[in-house]
Structure 1
C-alpha cells in the first residue's frame, strides 16, 4: 500500500534553538512520505534568519501577526488542505520525536478510519521513561483536566490503545477527511484549550480520539510560553471559562459557575494576590484578552 502523504506542522515563536532540535529529530523518521512546514508566529527575535541558515530549503511560512497557537497552525493546515495531503501532524517545536512515531500513528489511522485524532505517548524530557500524558480526560462540570498515566513509567502503556477526550497539542495526527468535515482548530483561545475543543467537536462528529501508546515523543514543555511572565497562568484559567461557556451543557454550567465563584472567593481570601483568579475568570466570561497586544 502506498504511504499516505503527511504534512508535519511545527510552530515557532522566538525559539529557533528548540525548533532546530525538533527538525533534526524529524529528519530521522523511518516514514518517508512526509513534508515539514514550519510556521513562524511573528517572532520578534532572529528566529527566521536562524532557521533559514540551518535549513536553507526549509518550507517556512512567516506569519504577519502572532495570532496564537491555532491561528499559526491553521495557516499550514490550510496549505496542506490545498495541496491535498492525507494527514496533518501538528507538532510543538519543543518536541523530540522517536524515528518510528509517525509510522505507528499513520498505520493505526489507515487501519482505523473511525479514529479522528491520534496521538502518541508523550514522555518527559528530564526522564523520558516517565509519561507526561497518554491522552487526557475532561470533566465539564468542574473543568478538571486529567492527564492519563501522568508520571507513570512508560512500560505500563506498552501495546495499548487508549481512548480519551483529547490529545495534547504537543503532538496530534488528524486526517484531512476529518478536517474537511469538522473544520480548523478554533482560534478563539490564543493559547490553551483550543485542542480540547477541536477534539470535542471531532468526537461529536462521530470519530474516536485515541492515544497509540507504542508511538513516542519527548516534550520539553512550554519554552516559548514561559518567555512572557504570567502568560501561561492567565490563559489557562481564562480559557477554561471560555471552553465551558462554548461547549458545556446547561447542567455543566449550573455546576461550573458556582464552583469557580467559590474558587475565586477562597483564593482571594487565602492567597497572595488571590483575586487575580477572579479577573482571569471575568475575562473568560466577557471574552476579553489581557494580552491582546501579542497579536501585533
Structure 2
C-alpha cells in the first residue's frame, strides 16, 4: 500500500501527518509527499527528518487533481493508494481498518473513515478531552445536486457509528483501490485536471459509481482534519479561489456524469439551486461570474469525457437514483 500527501504550503502540519502514518498498526510500503509550488527551505528540513519519505518537489502548483494523478502514477504496482491532505492526523488503526474493508468487499473502490474536526489554530492539534465534532462521514448528494459532508459540524454521539455505503468519500483522507482507479481513468487522468481542486473527489466517486464501483464508510477508522474556515461554515471566510473552482466544478461534474432520466426527474430542484446560486453571485459576489464565463473553454473537454463515461456506464438509473436524496 502507498500513501500520498498532496501539499501546498502547509509545512506546519505536515510533520504531524507523517508521524501519524509512522504510528499505524499497518505499515505503509511507500509514503510520497507531493509538494506543490515547492519551497526548498521548507520542504528540505522535512525531507531530512523523514528520509524514508519520497519527496516530489513541484516547481508549479498542480492542484489537488494534478498532484493526486502524479502520486497514483508514482505508486504504480500497489493495490491500494491512500491520499491525504497534510492537515490530517490519522488514528493508529486507520489504514488497517480501511484496507480491511477493501479485502472483504471486492466491489468497493474507495473507503473513508470518520473524520473529526481538529483545531488548526492551536500548536498542539486535536485535544483528547475536547468535544468530538464531526467533519465528514462521507458525502451526501441531494436531488438539487448540492453536495455536503455528512455530519459536518455535528457533535459525535455515535449517530454515524454504522459501517455503510455512501455516495462518495472526502478527499482529505481516502483509500482507493488501484484497479478501480485504472478502470475509471480517462486519457491517463484518474482525477479530472480541469477541476484543479475542490469537488474532484466527488467527481471521481460519481464516475466510479456509474462504472459499478461502490464507496464505503468505516467509522472504526478515525482521523482528525485540521481544516480552518469550514469549521464555522462562513462563506465570507472562504478563499475566493476555492469558491471559483467549486462553482465551476459543480457544473462540470454534472455535465460529465448526469443520467438523462435522473436529470428529468430532478429538474425542478436542480433549477432552483441554480437560480439561487446565480442570484447570490449577481447580488453578493459578482466576481464569481468569471466561473460562469470560464465554463465555455472547459465545455468541449467535459462533453468529450461525458461521451466516454456514458459508453462505459454499467449502473442503472435505479442504482444511481437512490443516492440523490
Same fold, TM exceeding 0.5? Answer: yes
Q: CA-to-partner distance for each residue in 1:15-48, whole Å, 9 max, x for gaps?
A: 2221111101111111125321111112257332
- Bigger Cα displacement from structure 2, 14-23 vs 142-151: 142-151
Q: Do structure 1's residue 119 and structure 2's residue 122 form an aligned pair? A: no
Q: 1:18 to 1:191 in 2, by over 3 A?
A: same
Tell me how far 1:222 sits from its aligned partner: 6.0
SS at match of 2:13: helix
Unaligned runs of 5+ in 2: 120-129, 230-237, 300-325
TM-score normalised to structure 1 length: 0.83
What's the RMSD between the two structures over aligned residues? 2.5
On the 8 A contact 1:96/1:219 being kept in 2, the answer is yes
Distance 1:67 1:10 in 2: 13
Between the two proteins, the alignment pairs up a number of residues equal to 274
**Residues in 1 aligned to 2:254 and 2:200: alpha-carbon distance in whole angstroms:** 12
Q: 3-state SS of the aligned residue for 1:199?
A: helix
Label 1:198 to 1:128 Cα distance change in 2 as closer, same or farther (>3 A).
Answer: farther
Once residues 296 and 163 of structure 2 are traced to their aligned partners in structure 1, the CA distance between those partners, rounded to angstroms, is 36
- Please list every run of 5 or more consecutive structure 1 residues that lacks an aligned counterpart in the other structure: 1-5, 289-296
Asked if the contact 1:118/1:212 (under 8 Å) is kept, the reply is yes
**1:206 equivalent in structure 2:** 212
Structure 1: distance between partners of 2:280 and 2:46 = 47
Decide whether the 8 Å contact of 1:120 with 1:211 is kept in 2.
yes
- CA contact 2:149–2:170 (8 Å) conserved in 1: no
Q: Does residue 282 of the first structure (1) align with residue 293 of the second (2)? A: yes
TM-score by length of 2: 0.76
Q: Distance in 2 between matches of 1:73 and 1:32?
A: 21
State which of 230, 246, 254 in structure 2 corresponds to 1:244.
254
Q: What's 2:51 paired with?
A: 56
Say if 1:157 and 1:213, in contact at 8 Å, map to a contact too: no
Does the 8 A contact of 2:30 with 2:53 survive in 1?
no
SS of 1:46's equivalent in the other structure is helix
Matches of 2:274 and 2:288, distance apart in 1: 9
Aligned with 1:169 (options 168, 171, 195): 171
